[in-house]
Every structure is written in structure tokens, then in C-alpha cells.
Amino acid sequence: MAGTGSRGSRRRGAGELESEVLAVLWATDHPLTPAEIRQSIGGRRGAYRPARNAAELTAQATHEALGRGPDPFAALRHFVTGLSAEEERVPRKLLDGDYGVAP
């Protein structure tokens, strides 16, 4: 998430805030309120918006996952063979250059 709040504050990387929140929650044995979590991570009040949309984050995670494995082509093959006929239609059209295809 990208902060639009305080002067001089740095932007957190994608997933960094989530990691900080989870670390705080894992370090305690009782539920915390949002205010307690914010206090623990030194959060400031402000307005936040996603730095990327859900599709962009999913695509990035997919690229990263493919990069971690020893055989990205095998991973893609397994992924594609699990698609329904309707789901298969979208990547086929995209690979053919039809970027206006609706999901």
C-alpha cells in the first residue's frame, strides 16, 4: 500500500505492511485491535490506497513463483492443463494478440 500521509515518510514495499502486521499478531497470544497493531508497528494515521491493482499483484506473484521453480515451463504446463475450457479461452486470445478480451 502506498501512504499519502506524513511528510518525509517512505513508501512501504508491496507486502511489507502485511508482513509487519502479521509479525505483531504472531508475537502475541491474544487478539489485538487495529489501534494496538498500529501502535506496535509505529503506524501513522493517513490515507492509503493500493499501489497496484489486484490483477497486477497476482501477475507479479505468478512471475515470482515461476522464477523460483526449477522448471517454469513445467509449472505453466500444469497450470494450463487445470484450466476449464472457458478459462483456457482467455490466455489463447491474449497469446493471439487480442488484448481486448474480457475475462
- Within a domain: 100: no
Amino acid present at 89: R
Per-residue pLDDT for 6 more than 90?
no
Name the domain count of the chain.
2
- Within a domain: 81: yes
Closest CA to 66 of 78, 56, 55, 54: 78
Q: Which of 4-18, 38-52, 79-93 shows the lowest mean pLDDT across its residues?
A: 4-18
pTM for this structure?
Answer: 0.50
CA atoms within 13 A on the CB side of 2: 6
Shared domain for 58 and 34, answered yes or no, is no
Per-residue pLDDT for 46 more than 60?
no
Shared domain for 44 and 71, answered yes or no, is no
Cα gap 86→44, rounded to integer Å: 45
Shared domain for 23 and 44, answered yes or no, is yes
Shared domain for 25 and 6, answered yes or no, is yes
Name the residue with higher pLDDT: 45 or 81. 81
